[in-house]
């Protein structure tokens, strides 16, 4: 149809036109080329490395050792510990983000003055740089000079909890919840705004209690968006790196060493076990791809709806 | 229930307190509902206040002097000082008593030098941070420009043409964004070392461009999809070429979309940490990995770190306000429109 339109048109000054298929190629190729060079090629390269013994700080070329890296990793209790830490962190963070975010959305759904301004103010944390946020919370959590303990009611530094030492993982979760609950809120708000008023009117006429209205109207309408938010936050939590590095650097010991942090330590600190790290990266990759696919599939479905 | 009835009766007597301009649900203009709204507003203000405490605290710490910043218990009221910013931008040296006296006699000192002198220090020169902030700006701006330009072209093609395997391609493009940075960094690090792109501006620009591309394609495709195709068809009938139609019809129509996309890409590149940490060291180091590592040398100088963080966060806060209408769309890759 486009073709016929172009033929039908007879502009006064007609230069030689680029055909539609050329435009297609010219427009799409640079993007695909960059993505393939920077994502697909590296992935194949690290797949190869994951089957070798290799250290990028040494001079030796990679030596093929089959699946030895994978065997070693999967039987290493530390790797399982890292996964367990990541899982616990993701579960706690996402759970509280969902609760707090949904609660905030319910609070801010009403049409009152200053609502827009307040919503934007609450959204600020999620736009900030995670590493700087994490680092700054270090001062806030500090038992002597930080304000966190004072704010939650521990006025005596001697008896107050030392967050980054005794409850490091909880601290990371607190920061993550502070930062990302607004994200869940934003999505839930859009779901809440889409609920037509007449549903509540009809329910009120039928004498449905507010509680029942919540369960039968509010929650089902927001559920898809809440789920989307939870999925997205889960993927992000599994990648957790920036905040953790800023806040605890993986410590104390390896109490907050998520898989990403342990990968970083494996490659860029100590012995530079590039081959083993590549194998671990692949394990992480498979897990993330599994969950990401659910997310992308869901996004596509939402777009069609 | 009884109180409900009585509330409604008083409302029936008095009527709505303000004129009802648009159609409003009757049960939402009752005094009771209005009290509910006030309570909500107050609660919302409280929540916003609590959410902003850490950021406010950072801003306050940035203007504290060194002893105030690490006072125990923490100080809420303090005499503002510019020590943090001086520490951030300059390398200083502590002066001996004799040198201090000669220095104090000089009359050609500028404002910053006087501030430093008041603490017995002389400014030697700009610190690394100036350079790192500059790197951040160059890398973020250039990569955003590239990502939006390339993304716009690809988005247009995906939006307007029937490309075979379109869904799969779009899926592939988005999936690249889901990869954990740490996972792709190892091979990219090795690749960059071979190509000589390690610790270079161009390497970081290309990397951020690629990382933002998937996002910009998805977001811009959503914006272009909303422009009725009929406009272009009319233009084509009138003798415009495809490219002219693209430039004169599509571009002006999605200026807002382009701006929103650009700002999101800019924030990502500005805030990015993992890649910058692993792929730069000196020359091309950006501010996010530098603020925690460089500034903390020799006892943590919290007022300096806070000053750096504050300067770094201000642009993002401003931009968040500018973006507020598009935030939802941005964070969901264009899937949800407000």
Cβ neighbours for B262, distance < 8 A, ≥ 6 positions apart = B144, B145, B148
Q: What is the pLDDT of residues B203-224, one digit of tens each?
A: 999 999 998 998 899 899 989 9
Write the burial class of residue B109 (CB in 10 Å: 0-12 exposed, 13-18 middle, 19+ buried).
Answer: middle
> Of the given ranges (A122-131, B34-43, B103-112, B168-177), which has the lowest mean pLDDT?
B103-112
- Mean pLDDT is highest, among A285-294, B106-115, B199-208, for B199-208
Q: What is the pLDDT of residue B281?
A: 87
* Domain ranges (residues) in chain B: 66-126, 129-331
Q: What is the mean pLDDT of chain A?
A: 84
Residue A250's SS3 state is coil
Helices (H), chain A: 2-8, 20-35, 41-49, 68-74, 77-108, 115-127, 130-141, 148-151, 163-166, 168-193, 197-205, 210-213, 219-238, 242-247, 259-268, 274-304
Q: What is the pLDDT of residue B144?
A: 95
Predicted pLDDT of residue A102:
93
Asked if A48 reaches chain B (Cβ–Cβ under 8 Å), the answer is no
CB B316 within 8 A of CB B288: no
Contact call for A46 and B183, based on CB within 8 A: yes
**Inter-chain residue contact B312 with A10, CB threshold 8 Å:** no
Q: Among B178, B267, B305, B311, which would you mutate to test the A interface (most chain A Cβ atoms within 10 Å of its Cβ)?
A: B178
User: What's the rounded mean pLDDT across residues B67-94?
Assistant: 78
Among chain B residues, the shortest Cα distance to A180 is held by B51
Is 1.10.3720.10 the CATH classification of the domain at A76-269?
yes
Q: What pLDDT is stored for residue B6 in this prediction?
A: 46
Q: What is the pLDDT of residue B1?
A: 40
Closest residue in B to A6 (Cα) is B236
Residue of B nearest to A274 (CA): B186
Whether A1 has a pLDDT exceeding 50, the answer reads no
Query: B38, exposed or middle or buried, with CB in 10 Å at 0-12, 13-18, 19+?
Result: exposed
Give residue B15's pLDDT band: very low, low, confident or very high (50, 70, 90). Answer: low
Which among A106-120, A200-214, B198-212 has the top mean pLDDT?
Answer: B198-212
Q: State the ipTM, two decimals.
A: 0.84
Q: What does the pLDDT average to over B9-34?
A: 65
pLDDT at B294: 54
Size of interface A-B (CB pairs under 8 A): 303
Residue B171 forms contact with A (CB below 8 Å): yes
Say whether pLDDT at B4 is over 60.
no
Q: What is the pLDDT of residue A108?
A: 87
Place of tokens 């330590």: A265
CA distances from B154 to A24, A127, B76, B162, B216 (A): 8, 27, 52, 13, 9
Mean pLDDT highest for which of A89-93, B244-248, B320-324?
A89-93
Q: What predicted TM-score, i.e. pTM, was given to this entire model?
A: 0.84
| Residue B118 in contact with partner chain A when CB distance is under 8 A | no
Output the pLDDT for position B24: 62
Q: How far is CA B185 from CA A39, A268, B146, B179, B295, in A?
A: 10, 11, 21, 10, 25
Residue B25 pLDDT grade (very low, low, confident, very high; cuts 50, 70, 90): low
Q: Which residue in A38, A120, A190 is closest to B320 by CB distance?
A: A120
Inter-chain residue contact A128 with B233, CB threshold 8 Å: no
Query: What pLDDT is recorded for position A56?
Result: 82
Instruction: Report the pLDDT value the prediction gives residue B153, as an integer from 0 to 100.
Output: 93
Helix B287-294 × helix B302-323 angle, to 10°: 160
How far is B229 from A217, CA to CA, in rounded Å?
37
| Nearest CB neighbour to B45, from listed A118, A135, A145 | A118
Percent of chain A exceeding pLDDT 90 equals 16
Does B54 lie at the interface with A, CB-CB under 8 angstroms? Answer: yes
Residue A223 has pLDDT above 90, yes or no: no
Flag whether pLDDT at B201 surpasses 80.
Answer: yes
Q: Can you give the pLDDT at residue B3?
A: 44
- Mean per-residue pLDDT over chain B, rounded: 82
What mean pLDDT comes out for the span B102-108? 72
Domain B129-331 class, CATH top level:
mainly alpha
Within 8 A of A288 by CB-CB distance, chain B residues are 178-180, 183
Q: Which has the minimum average pLDDT: A175-184, A239-248, B30-39, B274-283?
A: B30-39
Mutate to test the interface with B, among A48, A126, A135, A153 (most CBs of B within 10 A): A135
- pLDDT score of B317: 86
State whether A20 and B191 contact (CB < 8 Å).
no
Task: Check CB contact under 8 Å for A39 and B233.
Answer: no
- Any CB–CB contact under 8 A between B35 and chain A? no
pLDDT of residue A248 exceeding 80 = yes
Task: Categorize the per-residue pLDDT at B202 as very low, low, confident or very high, splitting at 50, 70 and 90.
Answer: very high
Cis status, amide bond into B148, omega within 30 of 0: no
Of A285 and B150, which is predicted with more confidence? B150
Residues in B touching A283 (Cβ below 8 Å): none
C-alpha A278 chain-centroid distance: 22
**pLDDT, position A46:** 87
Query: CB distance from A136 to chain B under 8 Å?
Result: yes
């Amino acid at each position: 149809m486009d073709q016929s339109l172009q033929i039908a048109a007879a502009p006064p000054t007609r230069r030689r036109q680029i055909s539609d298929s050329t435009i297609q190629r010219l427009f799409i190729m640079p993007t695909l080329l960059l993505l393939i060079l920077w994502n697909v090629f590296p992935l194949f390269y690290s797949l190869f490395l994951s089957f070798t013994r290799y250290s990028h700080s040494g001079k030796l070329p990679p030596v093929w050792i089959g699946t030895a890296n994978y065997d070693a990793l999967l039987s290493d209790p530390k790797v399982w510990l890292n996964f367990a830490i990541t899982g616990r962190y993701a579960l706690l963070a996402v759970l509280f983000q969902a609760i707090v975010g949904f609660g905030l959305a319910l609070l801010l759904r009403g049409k009152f003055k200053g609502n827009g301004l307040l919503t934007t103010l609450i959204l600020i944390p999620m736009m900030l740089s995670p590493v700087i946020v994490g680092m700054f919370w270090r001062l806030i959590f500090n038992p002597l000079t930080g304000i966190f303990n004072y704010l939650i009611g521990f006025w005596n530094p001697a008896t107050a909890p030392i967050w980054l030492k005794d409850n490091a993982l909880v601290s990371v979760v607190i920061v993550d919840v502070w930062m990302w609950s607004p994200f869940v809120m934003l999505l839930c708000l859009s779901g809440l705004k889409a609920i037509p008023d007449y549903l509540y009117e009809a329910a009120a006429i039928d004498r449905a209690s507010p509680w029942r209205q919540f369960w039968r109207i509010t929650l089902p309408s927001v559920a898809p968006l809440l789920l989307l938010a939870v999925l997205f936050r889960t993927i992000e939590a599994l990648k957790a790196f920036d905040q953790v590095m800023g806040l605890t650097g993986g410590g104390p010991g390896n109490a907050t060493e998520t898989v990403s942090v342990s990968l970083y330590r494996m490659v860029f600190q100590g012995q530079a076990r590039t081959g083993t790290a590549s194998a671990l990266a692949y394990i992480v990759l498979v897990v993330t791809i599994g969950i990401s696919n659910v997310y992308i599939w869901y996004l596509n479905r939402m777009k069609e709806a | 229930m009884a109180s409900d009835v009585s509330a409604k009766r008083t409302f029936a007597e008095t009527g709505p307190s303000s004129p009802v301009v648009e159609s409003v649900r009757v049960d939402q203009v009752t005094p009771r509902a209005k009290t509910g709204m006030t309570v909500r507003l107050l609660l919302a203000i409280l929540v916003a206040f609590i959410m902003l405490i850490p950021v406010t605290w950072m801003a306050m710490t940035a203007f504290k002097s060194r002893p105030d910043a690490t006072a125990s218990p923490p100080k809420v009221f303090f005499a503002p000082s510019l020590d943090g910013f001086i520490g951030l931008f300059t390398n200083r040296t502590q002066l001996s008593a004799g040198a201090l006296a000669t220095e104090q006699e000089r009359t050609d000192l500028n404002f910053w030098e006087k501030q430093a002198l008041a603490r017995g220090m002389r400014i030697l020169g700009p610190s690394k941070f100036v350079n790192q902030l500059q790197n951040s700006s160059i890398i973020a701006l250039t990569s955003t420009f590239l990502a939006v330009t390339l993304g716009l072209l690809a988005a247009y093609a995906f939006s307007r043409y029937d490309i075979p395997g379109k869904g799969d391609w779009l899926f592939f493009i988005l999936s690249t964004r889901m990869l954990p940075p740490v996972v792709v960094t190892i091979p990219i690090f090795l690749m960059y070392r071979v190509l000589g792109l390690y610790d270079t501006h161009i390497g970081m620009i290309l990397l951020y461009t690629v990382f933002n591309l998937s996002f910009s394609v998805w977001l811009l495709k959503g914006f272009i999809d909303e422009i009725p195709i009929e406009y272009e068809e009319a233009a084509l009938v009138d003798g415009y070429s495809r490219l002219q139609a693209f430039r004169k019809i599509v571009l002006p129509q999605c200026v807002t979309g382009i701006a929103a996309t650009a700002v999101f890409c800019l924030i990502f590149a500005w805030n990015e940490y993992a890649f910058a940490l692993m792929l730069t060291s000196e020359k091309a180091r950006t501010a996010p990995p530098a603020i925690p590592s460089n500034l903390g040398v020799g006892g943590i100088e919290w007022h300096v770190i806070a000053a750096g963080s504050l300067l770094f966060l201000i642009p993002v806060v401003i931009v968040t306000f500018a973006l507020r209408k598009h935030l939802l769309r941005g964070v969901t890759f264009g899937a949800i429109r407000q």
